[in-house]
Each structure stands twice: as structure tokens, then as C-alpha cells.
A = this chain, B = another copy of it.
Amino acid sequence: MTGFSFQVESRDGAARTGIISTPRGEIRTPAFMPVGTAGTVKAMFPEDVAATGADILLGNTYHLMLRPGAERVAALGGLHKFMNWPHPILTDSGGYQVMSLSSLRKLTEEGVSFASHIDGSRHMLTPERSIEIQCLLGADIQMQLDECPAIPIAPDKAAESMRLSLRWAERSKRAFEEKSKPGQALFGIVQGANFEALRRESLERLQEIGFPGYSIGGLAVGEGREEMFRVLDFTTPHMDRDKPRYLMGVGKPGDIVGAVVRGVDMFDCVLPTRAGRHGQAWTPSGALNITNARFAQDETPLDPLSACPASRDYSKAYLHHLFKAGEYLGAMLLTWHNLHYYQQLMASLREAIAAGRLADFVAAFRAQTGEETL
């Protein structure tokens, strides 16, 4: 049983490929992590998720602590066994979803108290409890509790929030050192909204505390792609070159391409799964909505040359019909297709970086998709 480690394998500009090693397996970076909110990547069998090329999933602490409960998952052998996913799992801290989903929230130095969106029950999430939950779940990569304010925010508010997250980072690390098992890793989360000085302060303080990997939080919260890239431009160059960088909650394919160019190694987003359930499919030439009437008689599949059955073996007319009829199989096929598309994108990015031709890849991606701000 090896520990947690990260090895950069190749570089092209700021971008890099690498391998994160964990006791549960290796993660090829840049990596996209499908989101398994409540212990399942919605509408997917876990074997099919793995077959798309996903090396790691994300689980949501907030959802799992409320239902079925962290102690119950632990009693049942941990999250990997519970959801039949033997590969690595990363969990968030729960903080972001407490703020976006629960009610009657009260944020203090100690943590956040809130009422469950499921049954109204009262809970308290502290840095220590968040780590305890993540350890009960058995997550291979864990996140410190942080506060994640929206942009725009006033500089003094952003600074105050960022410094609270730093104090929580220290408490999280202490709790992790007590509770975690060998080979598990805790990431610190860089905050500071879109202010360069605050991001630098956050990063430097986290580096002093010391983590085996760093997340970039507080982006993809409405600031727009250009602003997000601007923040990355003054953040990633200062991050440790030999540690993984995880941009939380990102994003659209164009967001990911631009962030990889800027040196990010890990991503998660509900977009491919959520959009798939609503009839949106990514294709090499951009996104389409299968419920559009123009697909009702379209005999062609989403991608006739794909290795993914969902992309290859069903016509757009059939997918259109499934969504019009409200059939499960529509969500199942488009989710699968989208996850495969995302993993193919990551594989292409890794190949392009390894071959030193990332600029060419980005130019081709821009031309094919019409994405401009990369």
C-alpha cells in the first residue's frame, strides 16, 4: 500500500500531465471527476463511469451526511463499498452546499449551523466535523471546510472570509492528522475572490500550513470565464509546481481547456451529468439540445465513430423520442455520452501536452467549437 503522491510527467507551457497515486489507484491528470452527489453518478452504472475513462469520482459531504448519514456509510464499509466504486473518491467539505442548499444558516467562527433541505433537521458543520465525516466516508482526497463567497464582493468582506477559511484550514489539518488513514490526503483551498493580493495571501498562508495539494475555490460563482481566467493567471504561477491543483466546480469544456492551459490538474462539475438529464449533449462541434424538433427525424447518432455505445448506437431521432416520452433511457444515454465526451477531452488534452502541441490543440478546439475566450 503506497501513500499519496503526485508526479508531473510532462509540461507544455504552464500545462502539465501527471499521475496522482493513491492506495486505491492512479489518477491521470489533467483529470475530470464526475460528480456522484448522493453516492451515485446520476443515471449511471459505476462500471460505465469507469469505462468512460474516469479515474476518480467526487462525492458530496453535505448530501451524504444528511442521507444516509456518514456514520451509516461507515458502518456499511465506507463510501467505496457502499456505491460499488473501488477507485479513488474525492469529497468536498460540505461547506459550499450548506450555503447553497440548506436553510436557517448561521455562520460563526466555530462553523455553520443549518437546517437540512430534506427534513429540516438541525446540523452543525465545523472544520473538525467535516473532516470526521470525510474520514467516515473514507474519501481518498478530502477538502478543508471553507467559506465560498460569490463574486462580486467588497475587498474587505472577501479578506475577512478568506482569513476565516485560513483559520478553518489549520483546524481541518489538525483534525485530519488525528482522524485520517495512511494514504489519504487533505487539500487546502485558495480563496480571495478576484483580488490578486488576497489570493496571494491565501495561497502563501496555506503553503505555510502545508498541504499535499491545493484547490482553487470561489470561482465559477458567476464571475464569467474571462474573469475566472484572469484570477487563474495571477494564481497558478505561484502554486507549488510539484503538487496537484484542483479548480473546484469547473466547468464547461472551454473552461477546462483554458484552465488546463493555465496549469490546472483537476476538475469537477455537474454539467455533463445534469445537462445530460435535460437533453443537452456535447459533440465535437458544440452542444445541442436533443429535444429540438429538428432532431425528430435525424437518423444519425451523436458520434458514429465513438467507442461509447451511447454516442454510437442510437439515432438522434430515438434520443429525441426518449426525452419527449420522459423515458429513463434518455437521461441514461445522454449522461453516458456527455461523460464520455468529457473524458475524451481530458485524454486529448493529456496527449497534446505530452506531445508538446497543446497550442495546436487549443486552436483546433477553438475553431471546431466556436469558443473564443481561451
Q: B-contacting residues of A (Cβ < 8 Å)?
A: 38-40, 42-45, 47, 67-68, 72, 75-77, 82-84, 296-297, 299, 309, 313-315, 317-318, 321-322, 324-325, 327-329, 331-332
Smallest Cβ distance from A253 to chain B, in angstroms? Answer: 24
A318–B42 touching, CB < 8 Å: no
Report the bound CA distance from A328 to B41 in whole Å.
9
Cross-chain contact A318 with B82 (CB below 8 angstroms): yes
CB < 8 Å neighbour of A297 from B47, B72, B83, B322? B72
Closest to A48 in B: B45
Report the bound CA distance from A67 to B324 in whole Å. Answer: 9
Whether B38 pairs with A327 at a CB distance below 8 angstroms is: yes
Residues from chain B with Cβ under 8 Å of A68 in the complex = 296, 317, 321, 324
For residue A72, which residues in chain B have a CB less than 8 angstroms away from its CB? 296-297, 317
Contact A76 B317 (CB under 8 A): yes
Residues of chain B within 8 A of A77, CB atoms compared: 299
Which among B42, B299, B315 is the interface contact of A328 at CB below 8 angstroms?
B42
Knowing A83-B318, A84-B313 are in contact, say whether A329-B47 is a contact too (CB < 8 A).
no
Residues of B within 8 A of A327 (CB): 38, 40, 42
Q: Does the CB pair B325–A38 fall under 8 Å? A: yes
Q: A40-B327, A76-B317, A84-B313 are in contact. List 15 more A-B contacts (CB 8 A).
A: A39-B325, A40-B325, A40-B328, A40-B329, A42-B327, A43-B332, A45-B309, A67-B325, A68-B296, A68-B317, A72-B296, A72-B297, A83-B318, A328-B331, A332-B332
On chain B, the residues within 8 Å of A325 by CB distance are 38-40, 67
Is the CB–CB distance between A75 and B297 below 8 Å?
yes
Shortest CB–CB separation between residue A86 and chain B, in angstroms? 11
Contact B328 A67 (CB under 8 A): no
Alpha-carbon gap, A84 to B312, bound state (A): 11
Complex Cα distance, B328 from A52, in Å, reads: 19
12 pairs across A/B with beta carbons < 8 Å? A39-B321, A40-B325, A40-B329, A42-B327, A43-B329, A45-B332, A47-B309, A68-B296, A68-B317, A75-B297, A77-B299, A83-B318
What are the 9 A-B residue pairs with the smallest beta carbon separation, nearest first?
A43-B328, A40-B329, A38-B325, A68-B321, A40-B327, A84-B313, A76-B317, A82-B318, A42-B328
**Which residue of B has the minimal Cβ distance to A38?**
B325
> Within the assembled complex, what's the spacing in Å between the Cα atoms of A43 and B331?
9
- How far apart are the CA atoms of A68 and B316 in the complex, in Å? 13
Measured CB to CB, the closest approach of chain B to A333, in angstroms, equals: 8
Distance in angstroms from A321 CB to nearest chain B CB is 5
Neighbour of A76 across the interface among B47, B84, B299, B328, CB < 8 A: B299
A66 to chain B: closest residue by CB? B325
Which residues in B have their C-beta under 8 angstroms from that of A322? 39-40
Q: Take A47-B309, A328-B331 as given contacts and tell me if A84 and B314 are in contact as well, using a CB distance cutoff of 8 Å.
A: yes
Least Cβ distance of A298 to chain B in Å?
9
Chain B residue at smallest Cβ distance from A324: B67
How many whole Å from A48's CB to the nearest CB in chain B?
Answer: 9
Query: How far is it, in angstroms, between the C-alpha of A99 and the C-alpha of B317 when the chains are bound?
Result: 29
Assembled-state Cα–Cα distance A351/B87 (Å): 40
Whether A82 pairs with B315 at a CB distance below 8 angstroms is yes
| Nearest residue, chain B, Cβ from A84 | B313
Return chain B residues, CB-CB under 8 Å to A67: 321, 324-325
